[in-house]
Amino acid sequence: MLYPIELTINGEEFRFNVPANWRLIDLLRRDLEMTGTHEGCGEGDCGACTVIVDGKAVNSCLILAVEADGCEIETIEGLADGNDLHPLQEAFIQEGAIQCGFCTPGMIMTSKALLDKKPDPTEEEIRRALQGNLCRCTGYEKIVAAVKAANKK
């Protein structure tokens, strides 16, 4: 059985009929081919799948698509404006905060949710916000530096 839902994704309105067991990440990656949202653990542990749902950073592997009915979703695909990168994307590149890149979309979406809510966070607040996002490459220092740099922009 399929369930009708309506979502706004990166400012665009969509209607879908989805199976009850589809997660939000399934809808994004399979139906919309928005593969910038990565699936790591699939269990809420790594944060690679983070998107913003009604202003909050959410693990898209932990929310059913039907639960997101009526919500406003932001994904990494919505950040750049044509060829102009979002300040967070620029800062991650400039600060060397990207190595393999697997964690990067989730890191950036969590950081965006933080900066949208709190434009001048302390280092502790940045680290606390990012505690659910794992990175096996960078050692985190450059990621924190990138969020600080993006904030200044």
Looking at the Cβ atoms of 71 and 107, the one nearer to ligand FES is 107
CA-closest candidate to residue 126, choices 139, 141, 106, 111: 111
Minimum distance from CB of 109 to ligand FES (Å)? 12
Strand order across the beta sheet in which 56-59 lies: 12-19, 2-9, 72-74, 50-53, 56-59
Parallel/antiparallel/unpaired status of strands 72-74 and 2-9:
parallel
Minimum distance from CB of 12 to ligand FES (Å)? 23
Contacting positions for ligand FES (CB under 6 A)? 39-42, 44-49, 59, 61, 98-103, 135-138
Looking at the Cβ atoms of 61 and 68, the one nearer to ligand FES is 61
Tokens (6 digits) for 129: 């916000």
Residue 13, Cβ density class (10 Å: 0-12 exposed, 13-18 middle, ≥19 buried): exposed
Rg (CA), the chain: 15
Minimum distance from CB of 13 to ligand FES (Å)? 25
Looking at the Cβ atoms of 18 and 51, the one nearer to ligand FES is 51
Looking at the Cβ atoms of 98 and 113, the one nearer to ligand FES is 98
Minimum distance from CB of 64 to ligand FES (Å)? 13
Tokens (6 digits) for 84: 């102009």
Minimum distance from CB of 84 to ligand FES (Å)? 23
Looking at the Cβ atoms of 70 and 101, the one nearer to ligand FES is 101
